[in-house]
Amino acid sequence: MKTYRKSSELFARAKELIPGGVNSPVRACRSVGTTPLFIEKAAGSILTDADGNHYIDYVGSWGPMILGHSHPAVIRAIEDTLKRGTSFGAPVDLEVTLAEMIVHAVPSVEKVRMVNSGTEAAMSAVRLARGVTGRDVIIKFDGCYHGHADTFLVAAGSGVATLNIAGSPGVPDAVIAHTLSLPYNDAERFARVMEKSGETIAAVIVEPVAGNMGLVPPVPGFLETLREKTLKYGSLLIFDEVMTGFRVAYGGAQELFHIGPDLSCFGKIVGGGLPVGAYGGRKEFMSQVAPEGPVYQAGTLSGNPIAMAAGIATLTEIRKPGFYDRLEQISALLAHGLEQAAANTNTRLAINRVGSMMGVFLTDRPVKNFDDAKTSNLEKFAAYYRKMLERGIYLAPSQFEATFVSAAHSERDISDTIAAAESVFRELSAE
Ligand code: HOZ
């Protein structure tokens, strides 16, 4: 039996000082009926908590840690850069290098602006789209999450779904009035809306593989329809690749599905575990960003040298030949093993996977959109989460988040995870 004394003590102190004791809501673990672990350190695929318990980690800091934790090349790059100073509020060579790497990796991105988070990237991309088109309305999709900017808090995934709330007080109705949320993967419904109102739509923003309602891949034709109709009506298509960028392929989901959006948002991997976001796209649009153009956006710590160094080191590692093949192989092993474990125990679940992103839904119906995801048995998921944790497997504490496999996961990690899942499924089906 693991003990969590130090984590519990830290959480008690945190709750007095920080709302809910955490700096981002999902990690409070409320929806799975437990309290957060405080992490002492992490290396490779293993997290160690404040009480010295070890876990195989499938959260990966919610996506950035594609190389696993404390990768030597990333740590070295951070240490070397640290010696030059920590922040100058002035350009550094590393910003140019990372921008070159992004532009090279993603052909639809000709120019890119660094920011500090995925939220900032998405809200800046939407501002740009509104500025460029002179229109106000945006379309998003139910269960997709693009950060916590006002515009996006309609039928949102991630923490909003986990807390089961409609949106947030503090968001003016006037702002929400300009956001239209449609069912994910429903190309026909989207096409009908565009045919009626396309000329008023500034932007269509989508997670090309949705990772904030669990993991939901696009059905064939969905992204194609988004591209076709946005071109037809002069709306900008924004791919939120904060999770999928450099994850499902080096060039992101747009490489995988061969669709070039007008603007793309990045975060997570591009910062190698440090706070970085980025948005970019065709020169014609990006040239409208200040000071080149009139659409304003700025940031004191944007392009921070240490964050840039971590991003460069990470992209340098993952673009090496064979990297994504090995990640695919180990991720497939996990998905197939979980399916087998479920079959062996008569457990009904739906597994979605795109490369090293996965969603394990405790439902017996295929999950193609947010309504499907919400058919999951959340009570059972909470029990599954707690029992996996007790067996040393660290999963995202919400049915509406993705599972991330990293290059640091070994075959042994995967087989231990499958064995743990099978024993949990067996216990759950006996209850
Ligand atoms: N909302 C992010 C995941 N989709 C981050 C959650 C967290 O850091 O707690």
Of 4, 58, 145, 324, which one is the catalytic site residue? 145
The length of the chain, given as a count of residues: 431
Which residue in this structure is represented by tokens 């809501």?
25
Closest CA to 262 of 355, 157, 131: 131
Angle between helices 323-344 and 411-430 (to 10 degrees): 20
Q: Which two tokens stand for residue 190?
A: 């989207």
> What is the domain partition of the chain in residue ranges?
5-70+322-430, 72-318
Quote the ligand 1 centre to 399 CA distance (angstroms).
13
394 tagged catalytic = no
202 exposed, middle or buried (CB, 10 Å; 0-12, 13-18, 19+)? buried
| Residue with CA nearest ligand 1 atom 5 | 62
Architecture of domain 72-318: 3-Layer(aba) Sandwich (3.40)
Identify the three-state secondary structure at position 309. Answer: helix
Q: What is the DSSP letter of 75?
A: H
Considering only CA atoms, give the Rg of the chain. Answer: 21
- Pocket of ligand 1 contains residue 27 by CB under 6 Å: yes
CATH for the stretch 5-70+322-430: 3.90.1150.10
Interacting residues of 165 by C-beta distance below 8 A, sequence separation 6+ = none
Taking the C-alpha atoms of residue 254 and residue 80, their distance in angstroms, rounded to an integer, is 33
Ligand 1 pocket member 400 (CB < 6 A): no
One-letter identity of residue 147: G
> What is the pLDDT at residue 162?
77
State the average pLDDT over residues 180-186.
Answer: 96
pLDDT digits (tens, 9 = 90+) for 4-33: 999 999 999 999 999 999 999 999 999 999
- Binned at pLDDT 50, 70 and 90, residue 171 comes out as confident
Residue pair 330/409 in contact (Cβ under 8 Å)? The answer is yes
Residue 58 known to be catalytic = no
| The pLDDT value given to residue 243 | 98
Q: What is the dihedral of CA 352, 259, 63, 12, to 10 degrees?
A: -90
> Does the pLDDT at position 161 exceed 80?
no
Tracing tokens 């996990």 back to the chain, one arrives at: 334
- Count CB neighbours of 156 within 10 A: 27
Is residue 163's pLDDT more than 90? no
Question: CB of 380 closer than 6 A to ligand 1?
Answer: no
